Amino acid sequence: MSPRTSTPHSPPAGTTPAVRLLGQQEAAALAGCSKDTIARARRAGHFPHARLTGGRWAIPADDLAAAGFAPPATIPDSEESPLAASPDDGPVDLALARAEARISGLEDLLARQDAELAFLRRLAADTVAKKAS
């Protein structure tokens, strides 16, 4: 796919829809996780349209929802209240979204720890093999 081709996250060529941008702290509050979890997800590429603006990261609300950190209904369209939810959203929906975001963060942590453990095992095996030689 060429860089100019439209993706599900990018608007069609020639259009400029209003995109709600969230700071990492605001995204964390909406997702029910820590700012560090949002930063790790950003570095892992879960928010492909995040951009550095004025020394701060701006994460499109669509990216937050697409990555499974918050259901689209819980992300406010306006700047009034970052935690405003529609009347249709129940506490169960918000709790579920927070739990899913927490699970995603823990899965990322587990994957990194598994990779580190595999590296340490290879290193230990190489060390033992060298000493045996």
According to the model, what pLDDT value does residue 119 have?
95
Would you give the distance in Å from CA 76 to the centre of its chain? 17
Residue 28 reports pLDDT greater than 80: yes
Rounded CA separation 105/102 (Å) = 5
Three-class SS state of 53: strand
According to the model, what pLDDT value does residue 22 have?
87
Residue 21 reports pLDDT greater than 80: yes
Give φ, ψ of 62 to 5 degrees. -60, -40
- Which residue shows structure tokens 């994957």? 111
According to the model, what pLDDT value does residue 55 have?
83
Residue 37 reports pLDDT greater than 70: yes
| 66-125 residue pLDDT tens | 888 866 655 655 544 343 344 454 667 777 777 777 887 788 888 889 999 999 999 999
Strand partners, 51: 58
pTM, full prediction: 0.45
